[in-house]
Chain A
Amino acid sequence: MSLPVHPDTAPAHARLPFPSGASVGAVLVTAILVIALIAPWVVPYDPLYQNLLAINTPPGPEYWLGVDHLGRDVLSRLIMGSRTTLAISVGGVTLAFFIGGCLALLGLALGRVSERLVFGGIDLARAMPDILLALLLIVALGSGAVPVAIALGVSFSPFFAYVARTAYKREMAQDYVRAARLFGGGRLHVLLRHVLPNIAGGLVTQAAIILPRCIVTESVLSFLGLGSSPDAPTWGRMISDASRFIEQAPHAILAPMLTLVLLTVSLLLVGDYSRARLDPLRGARNRQGVMP
C-alpha cells in the first residue's frame, strides 16, 4: 500500500496547458533518440572511413553535411556521435540518480550522525565546481566512455541528494508517515514502502533537468580531449577536432554544435514542463499560496 502524492494538487495540474514549446521539444528529443537507437542502420557512410579525395567538401547532395578535414562524412559522424554522447550522458545521470538518491536517503533514514556524515561529503563535492571534479575523476580513472560516465555521475550526484533530502524531510512531517511509524514500521521499512514512492517523482524530474547539463558537460570534456576514445565520435570531440580547421570546413563544426544546442534546448523545454507538472514541491508551494 502506498499513499497518493498530494491528492489535492491534481486539479492544478490538470489546468496546466501543454505548451507548444514543450511539444516541439518532445518531438525533437524523440527524433534524436530514435536516430541514435537505429544509428548503425541509417548512417550513409562509415563514420571512420576517410575519403581523402573529398577532404573539407562543403555540404552537398552527396555528403548532406559535408566532409571534415580527414575526409570523414560529417552526417554519419553526427549520427553515430549522438549514440555515444547520449549513452554516456544518460549513463551519467542514471548513476548520479542512484548515487545521490541512495546515499542521501540511507544517510537520512539511519539517523542524525549518518546524515551529517553523508551530507558533509556531499557539501564537499559541491564545494568544487563539477567540471573540476569530473576532470580529476577522469585523471584517476583514465579516459574512455565508462570513466566519463562515472565522473559525470559522481559530479552530478549532489543535485539529487539535495532534492532527496528536501522531499524526505517534507514527507516525514506528513501524517501518513507518522501513522506508519506508530503502527510499528521501522525506519527503512517506512522509507522504502511509504516515503520512496512519494518522492520518486521529484527525483525523476530532477533527472530530466540535469540531463541537458550532463550532455553539455560531457561535450565540454570531449572538447578538452578527455572524453571517450577517438574511435567513438562524440559531438564535443567533433567540435574540438574541427576547430583547428574552422576556416577550411566551418560546416564540420557548425553541424555538431547546432545539434548539441538543439538537443539541450529541447530537453530544457521538456524538463521545465515536466517540473511544472510533476514537481511536488511546486504543488506544495501552490497550496500555501506563496507562488502564483
Chain B
Amino acid sequence: MNLLQDIAFQLARALMQAFAIMVIVFLLVRVTPGDVVDVLAIEGDLTAEQQEVMREELGLDRPLVTEFFNWVRQAATGDLGQSLRYGRPVADMVGNALPTTLTLAASSFIIGLVLAFSTALTATMTQGRFTTSLVNLLNIWSIAFPTFCVGVAAILVFSIWLGWLPVLGAMIAPVVIIGIDNAGQIAKPLFEELREAANSAHVRTARAKGLHPVRIAIAYLLPTAIPIALALSGLILAGLVAGTLTMEVLFGLSGIGSLTLQAIHGRDYPVVQGAVVVIALGIVAINTVMDILHRLIDPRLAR
C-alpha cells in the first residue's frame, strides 16, 4: 500500500513537472524580442502590410493563453505545429532528428556506465594506489575538460594530424568523449559508496569465510551500487544533454541538439518549443522511472 502511494506520488509529481515545463518553455520562447516575420522581413524585403498578413496567418497576433492551450491540446495528440521556416510538421523534424541523438546518448551512456563501474569496482577490490588514482583522474577529467574542448582537440589530433577519422559525421569520437565525461561524473561517488559497502559487516563476513573476491564483487558489492547509480541518473542525464548538444554541433550530426540551435538562430518558435519540450519531458520521464525503480529496489526510501 505504502509502495503504491509512493509510486502514485512520483507520477503525480512528474505530471505537474511536465505541465510546468510546458508553461515555462512556451512563455520563454514567446517573450523573445523579434519574431520569425522580422527575420524573414530582413531576409526577403517584406512590406509592413505583408508582415501583418503573415503574422495573422501564423497566429502570432492571438492572445498567449489561447495559444498555449491550443499548443498543449495539439501536443497531446502528437502534433507539435509546423515549422515557420520550412512549413514541415515539427513532430516529423523532431522525429527525424531523434534517432541520431538517442543513438549518441545511449551508446555514450553504456560506455560511461561500463567504464565507471569497472574502474570503481577494481579500485574498491584492489584498494591500490594506481586504480584509485584512475578514479580520481576520471573525476578531474570530466570537470576540467569540457566535452566541446575535448571534441575540438580530438578533431585536431585524430582527424587532422593523424588523419584517422573523417572530421564530420563520425559517431565514434563523440560517443567516446561523452562516455568518458559521463564516467568521470559518476565514478567517484560510485567508488565512495562501494568502498563503504566493502567495509560493511556482511562483506567482511563473506571475506572471512573465504568467498572468492570476484564472487564478493558480483554478489555483494554490485547490488549495493545499483541504487546509488539510479540516484545519480539526474547527473548523468544532464551530462548527456550538454554532451550531445555540443558534440552534434561540433561533429555536424543532425540530431535534436543541432535542430534546436538552428531553430533558435532562425527564430523558428514551434521547432524550438517542440524540440526543447521533447528533451525536457523525456528527462522528466526517465527521472521518474529511475525514482520509482530506486524506490522498488531500496525499501529504506519508504516515507
Contact = CB atoms under 8 A, between A and B. Distances in A.
A128 B287 CA distance: 10
A116 to B, nearest CB: 12
B152 A239 contact: yes
A250 interface: yes
Nearest to B29: A139
Contacts of A250: 156, 160
A213 to B, nearest CB: 8
Contact of A219 (B146, B241, B287): B146
Given A219-B148, A264-B146, 13 more contacts: A129-B283, A131-B242, A135-B276, A136-B24, A139-B28, A139-B29, A140-B27, A224-B246, A226-B264, A239-B149, A246-B160, A253-B152, A254-B156
Per DSSP, chain A at the interface is helix
B120 interface: no
Contact of A257 (B153, B249, B250): B153
Interface in A130-146: 130-132, 135-140, 142
B155 A261 contact: no
A253 B265 contact: no
Interface residues of B, number: 44
Interface in B248-277: 249-250, 260-261, 264-265, 272, 276
Contacts, number: 104
The 10 closest A-B pairs by CB, nearest first: A129-B238, A140-B28, A129-B241, A131-B242, A136-B28, A216-B146, A265-B144, A257-B149, A140-B31, A142-B33
A224 B31 contact: no
A128 B283 contact: yes
Interface in A80-132: 124, 126-132
A219 B28 CA distance: 22
Interface string A181-224: 00000000000000000000000000000001100100110011
Interface residues of A, number: 37
A50 interface: no
A260 interface: yes
A96 B103 CA distance: 34
A128 B28 contact: no
Contacts of A175: none
Nearest to B257: A224
Given A140-B32, A261-B144, A127 B149 contact: no
Contacts of A128: 21, 280, 283
A267 to B, nearest CB: 10
A12 to B, nearest CB: 21
A246 B144 contact: no
A225 B261 contact: yes
Contacts of B165: none
Contacts of A79: none
B17 A142 contact: no
B9 to A, nearest CB: 13
A136 B242 contact: no
A123 to B, nearest CB: 8
A135 B144 contact: no
B264 A135 contact: yes
A148 interface: no
A138 B272 CA distance: 12
Interface in A254-284: 254, 257, 260-261, 264-265, 268
Given A124-B21, A129-B241, A139-B272, A257 B28 contact: no
B276 A132 contact: yes
B260 A253 contact: no
B12 interface: no
B173 interface: no
Interface string A236-247: 000100010011
A216 B246 CA distance: 12
Interface in B10-24: 17, 20-21, 24
